[in-house]
Amino acid sequence: MSESQYNLVVLISGNGSNLQALIDACASSALPNTRITHVISNRKAAYGLTRAAQASIPTTYHNLLPFKRQHPDTPSGTTAARTAYDASLASIILALSPRPHVIVCAGWMHILTPDFLNPITQAGIKELPPPAPTPSPPPTQ
């Protein structure tokens, strides 16, 4: 990486209006020395994928459904599917070249679990917005 170049990966789920704002900001002085190197969507028909393609940004479609099909339709099966999906998403991002410095959730409609967050954090990649803190248990009376 050049000292002043920052690579972003953007996670989207829909229209891509937030993505378009980022594309425009990267093309202007609003986000100097910043480029979007990849866009990942969890919806195949997300218009944001078209916006990315129009800006010559590589895209990946990463759907949760194949992971759900591998597990029973139970609460524990849903948790196992999400765990596998999030770990796979982290692997996809960690394999990208160039590796991102920041991951931006721009309308991403999945809650990311530690199975995604831990490997990303360990790799030194920042996530925006940052994950919400774990709530403290209520005080006992």
pLDDT of residue 1: 44
**Of 88, 83, 24, 92, the residue nearest 59 (C-alpha):** 92
Does some domain include residue 133?
no
Which residue segment(s) compose the domain that 35 sits in? 6-128
Q: Is residue 107 part of a domain?
A: yes
**Whether 141 contacts 49, CB under 8 Å:** no
Residue 70 has pLDDT above 70, yes or no: yes
Percent of the chain with pLDDT over 70: 88
Arithmetic mean of pLDDT, 14-37: 94
Cis peptide bond upstream of 129, omega within 30: yes
- Looking at the 3D structure of the chain, how many domains does it have? 1
**Would 137 be classed as within a structural domain?**
no
Is residue 105, in this structure, part of any structural domain at all? Answer: yes
Residue 40 within a domain: yes
Task: Write down the pTM of the prediction.
Answer: 0.87
Residue 99: exposure state from Cβ atoms within 10 A (0-12, 13-18, ≥19): middle
Please report whether residue 134 resides in a domain: no
76 — pLDDT class (breaks 50, 70, 90): very high
The enclosing domain of 100 has a CATH number of 3.40.50.170
